[in-house]
């Protein structure tokens, strides 16, 4: 193999390797629930504001504030769940365990309801 | 051939082997199925080829306390009948709809679905539909349309399909065929009496009124009433000059068990949360395999049997312009289903800016047979002297209760799927039955059954105690199921045609 061809192969291998490493790293980040959920937020609770459906959850949270007694320490409960599994994981666990609550007729996984309360309380 | 009854000379004697009264879905289907049988067939239609106020007025009547469509608006009296404005929704009844159910008094047809299946298959082509095998293939159709299902097949609440007929306007699609056939179609000719022989079991003469001349008499070996559930009952009840109470009414069953499918527009709301939910919830019409479909959700047959539930068919309406911020507003008439005003406004804002979507539900629900829900005659008469109708539709709280239980299970299924949240307003029950619409499906009034004490017709549609008087159409329904009736009307009419051919051959 001539030197120019060998150099080209070496560059190709390095480029491919770097790309592969980058992809693996990105996948790791995306599949690590807490990191994926937090991203740039200061805390797991702050990260709730970045959810695509945050505005809707906040509307339900406000309805819950008006319609029912707010469980004491709900924010701590919520933060612990989010810290353990991230938002999607915690909601999925609610579904798997049948933890659904009713807010003015809306049937909602418990973590989503708590998230709505938090978002509503944050103004 | 078409004959305008108004042009016939007074005293014209008319006769046929089979006289079919009513040129709607059932009557035209029967006439087409019999046109090449070698039998002389008369098809008698009260209206003309086009809709007219004069013909429609003959259908007018009164209502009971329940809000409902007046009789002259719920059916059309002209050639083609109510297929002139139907929406084309087609779906077979389920097997369980035909079964007696211990939690539904007086339920059950005298037939199994399997006995009708061969005619269901033939009815598909009459209504210009595809294969009957596709009604359960929600997964296949969704895949073909590139849509995801929000809940899976095989669950307690499962996705099923309606197929849309074009819709087939029978008065247009089959006009030329019947005009060129040996069937004699008498237009502007209205049945006003059925005369029986001395045995009181055999109809001997049909008295036919028309404008512009005296009534005509027609003799027929067999007579089929195919005028819809309201007029079929009206005709039997009004034929009381020789038999007290009317024909087939010895057990006072004619006109009873009338119902329709209550249509609950709203009563529940959906918040689609999944950012990719535009596909699953874009459930207007789905075009797939060169046909049109609509996804619906229904408690499975097994679940209905296990939970002792009536049926319902729920559709999720597409967001539509009413939820489109570009259209300027959140439709306030639907807003109540989403919650308190401030919640509604916030959700509408989220709908406008985010990936969530708001939908309302529509549902057609099954009612339980009620003998007190009935069609009767009044003292008022139309211009031909026929007594007009009163329609007293009765709904029970139990009908809604079953729907709300089914809806609660659908809410759980959606919450578990992660695609959406469903709201059942706490005051939903208080809106029943005042805020109830209907499917314009007149059902019952001459129900089928093996027991003449609780039915009017036998398993073939022959009026109990009558030798040659038959009924076709949705008045035969015993328990309504939740599916729209036209496909079953056509299937039963095709079945009756074969039955009549056998009867005549014997």
User: ipTM value of the model?
Assistant: 0.85
3-state secondary structure of B251: coil
For the ranges B101-110, B124-133, B326-335, B395-404, which has the lowest average pLDDT?
B326-335
> Does the CB of B422 have a partner CB in chain A at under 8 Å?
yes
Spatial neighbors of B264 by CB under 8 A, at least 6 apart, are: B361, B362, B363, B365, B403, B436, B437
Q: Which of B271, B415, B428 sits opposite A95 (nearest CB)?
A: B415
Average pLDDT over residues A112-117: 95
Q: What is the DSSP letter of B281?
A: H
Looking at the structure, tell me whether residues A5 and A52 fall in a common domain: no
Between B370 and A43, the higher pLDDT residue:
B370
Residue B210, in any domain of the structure: no
Residue B222, in any domain of the structure: no
Contacts of A65 in chain B (CB under 8 A): none
- Compute the distance between CA of residue A96 and CA of residue B418 in angstroms, rounded to an integer: 11
**pLDDT tops 60 at residue B279:** no
Q: Which of B343, B351, B412 sits opposite A62 (nearest CB)?
A: B343
For the ranges A61-75, B54-68, B268-282, which has the lowest average pLDDT?
B268-282
Domain count for chain A: 2
For the ranges A102-116, B20-34, B35-49, B334-348, which has the lowest average pLDDT?
B334-348
Looking at the structure, tell me whether residues A59 and A9 fall in a common domain: no
Residue B477, in any domain of the structure: no
Query: How many Å lie between the alpha carbon of B409 and the closest alpha carbon of chain A?
Result: 10
Residue B229, in any domain of the structure: no
Residue B361, in any domain of the structure: yes
Nearest CA in chain B to A61: B343
> Does the CB of A40 have a partner CB in chain B at under 8 Å?
no
Q: What is the DSSP letter of A53?
A: T
Q: Which of B273, B418, B425 sits opposite A105 (nearest CB)?
A: B425
- Compute the distance between CA of residue B345 and CA of residue A63 in angstroms, rounded to an integer: 12
CB of B492 closer than 8 Å to CB of B117:
no
Looking at the structure, tell me whether residues A80 and A103 fall in a common domain: yes
Looking at the structure, tell me whether residues A55 and A107 fall in a common domain: yes
Residue A67, domain extent: 38-121
- Compute the distance between CA of residue B120 and CA of residue B126 in angstroms, rounded to an integer: 10
Average pLDDT over residues B422-429: 91
- What integer pLDDT is reported at residue B53 of this predicted model? 97
Looking at the structure, tell me whether residues A114 and A58 fall in a common domain: yes
- What integer pLDDT is reported at residue A41 of this predicted model? 64
- What integer pLDDT is reported at residue B332 of this predicted model? 60
**pLDDT tops 70 at residue A120:** yes
Looking at the structure, tell me whether residues A81 and A115 fall in a common domain: yes
Residue B338, domain extent: 130-164+262-365+396-435
Domain count for chain B: 1
For the ranges A49-53, A57-61, B121-125, B320-324, which has the lowest average pLDDT?
B320-324
For the ranges B1-15, B39-53, B111-125, B139-153, which has the lowest average pLDDT?
B139-153
Percent of chain B with pLDDT over 70: 94
Looking at the structure, tell me whether residues A55 and A24 fall in a common domain: no
> Does the CB of B429 have a partner CB in chain A at under 8 Å?
no
CB atoms within 10 A of CB A15: 10
Which residue intervals of B127-227 are DSSP H helices? 138-145, 170-173, 175-179
Looking at the structure, tell me whether residues A2 and A51 fall in a common domain: no
Residue B181, in any domain of the structure: no
Contact: B340, A104; criterion CB under 8 Å = yes
- What integer pLDDT is reported at residue A71 of this predicted model? 82
Burial of B249 per CB tally in 10 Å (0-12, 13-18, 19+): buried
- What integer pLDDT is reported at residue B328 of this predicted model? 45
């Amino acid at each position: 193999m001539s030197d120019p061809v060998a150099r080209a192969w070496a560059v190709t291998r390095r480029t491919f390797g770097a790309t592969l490493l980058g992809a693996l790293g990105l996948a790791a980040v995306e599949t690590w629930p807490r990191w994926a959920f937090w991203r740039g937020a200061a805390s797991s609770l702050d990260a709730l504001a970045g959810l695509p459906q945050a505005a809707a959850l906040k509307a339900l949270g406000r309805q819950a504030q008006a319609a029912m007694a707010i469980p004491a320490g709900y924010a701590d409960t919520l933060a612990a769940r989010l810290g353990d599994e991230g938002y999607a994981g915690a909601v999925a666990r609610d579904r798997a365990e049948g933890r659904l609550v009713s807010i003015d007729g809306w049937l909602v996984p418990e973590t989503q309801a708590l998230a709505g309360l938090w978002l509503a309380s944050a103004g | 051939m078409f004959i305008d009854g108004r042009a016939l000379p007074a005293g014209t004697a008319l006769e046929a082997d089979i006289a079919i009264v009513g040129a709607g879905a059932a009557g035209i289907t029967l006439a087409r199925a019999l046109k090449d049988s070698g039998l002389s067939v008369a098809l008698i239609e009260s209206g003309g080829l086009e809709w007219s106020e004069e013909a429609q007025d003959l259908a007018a009547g009164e209502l009971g306390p329940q809000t409902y469509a007046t009789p002259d608006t719920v059916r059309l009296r002209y050639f083609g009948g109510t297929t002139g404005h139907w929406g084309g929704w087609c779906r077979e009844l389920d097997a369980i709809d035909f079964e007696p159910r211990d939690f539904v008094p007086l339920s059950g047809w005298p037939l199994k679905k399997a006995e009708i299946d061969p005619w269901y298959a033939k009815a598909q082509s009459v209504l210009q539909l595809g294969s009957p095998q596709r009604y359960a293939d929600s997964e296949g159709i969704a895949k073909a349309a590139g849509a995801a299902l929000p809940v899976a097949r095989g669950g307690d609440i499962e996705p099923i399909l309606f197929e849309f007929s074009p819709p087939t306007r029978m008065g247009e699609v089959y006009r030329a065929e019947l005009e060129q056939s040996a069937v004699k179609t008498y237009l502007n000719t209205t049945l006003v009496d059925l005369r029986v022989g001395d045995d009181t079991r055999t109809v001997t003469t049909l008295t036919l009124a028309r404008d512009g001349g005296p009534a005509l008499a027609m003799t027929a070996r067999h007579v089929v009433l195919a005028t819809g559930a309201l007029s079929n009952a009206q005709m039997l009840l009004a034929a009381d000059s020789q038999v007290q109470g009317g024909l087939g009414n010895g057990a006072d069953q004619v006109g009873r068990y009338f119902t329709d499918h209550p249509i609950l527009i709203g009563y529940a709301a959906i918040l689609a949360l999944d950012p990719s939910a535009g596909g699953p919830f874009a459930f207007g019409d789905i075009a797939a395999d060169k046909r049109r479909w609509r996804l619906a959700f229904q408690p499975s047959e097994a679940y209905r049997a296990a939970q002792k539930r009536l049926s319902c068919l729920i559709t999720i309406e597409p967001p539509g312009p009413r939820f489109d911020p570009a259209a300027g507003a959140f439709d306030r008439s639907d807003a109540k289903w989403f919650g308190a005003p401030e919640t509604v406004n916030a959700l509408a804002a989220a709908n406008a800016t985010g990936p969530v979507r708001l939908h309302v539900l529509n549902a057609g629900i099954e009612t339980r047979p009620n003998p007190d829900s009935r069609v009767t005659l009044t003292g008022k008469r139309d211009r031909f002297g026929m007594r007009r109708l009163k329609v007293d539709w009765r709904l029970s709280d139990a009908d809604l209760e079953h729907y709300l239980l089914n809806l609660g299970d659908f809410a759980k299924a959606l919450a578990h799927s992660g695609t959406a949240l469903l709201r059942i307003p706490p005051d939903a029950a208080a809106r029943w039955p005042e805020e109830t619409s209907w499917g314009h499906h007149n059902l019952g009034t001459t129900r089928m059954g093996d027991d003449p004490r609780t039915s009017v017709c036998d398993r073939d549609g022959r009026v109990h105690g009558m030798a040659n008087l038959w009924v076709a159409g949705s008045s035969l329904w015993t328990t309504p199921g939740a599916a729209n009736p036209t496909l079953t009307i056509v299937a039963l009419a095709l079945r009756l045609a074969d039955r009549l051919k056998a009867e005549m051959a014997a």
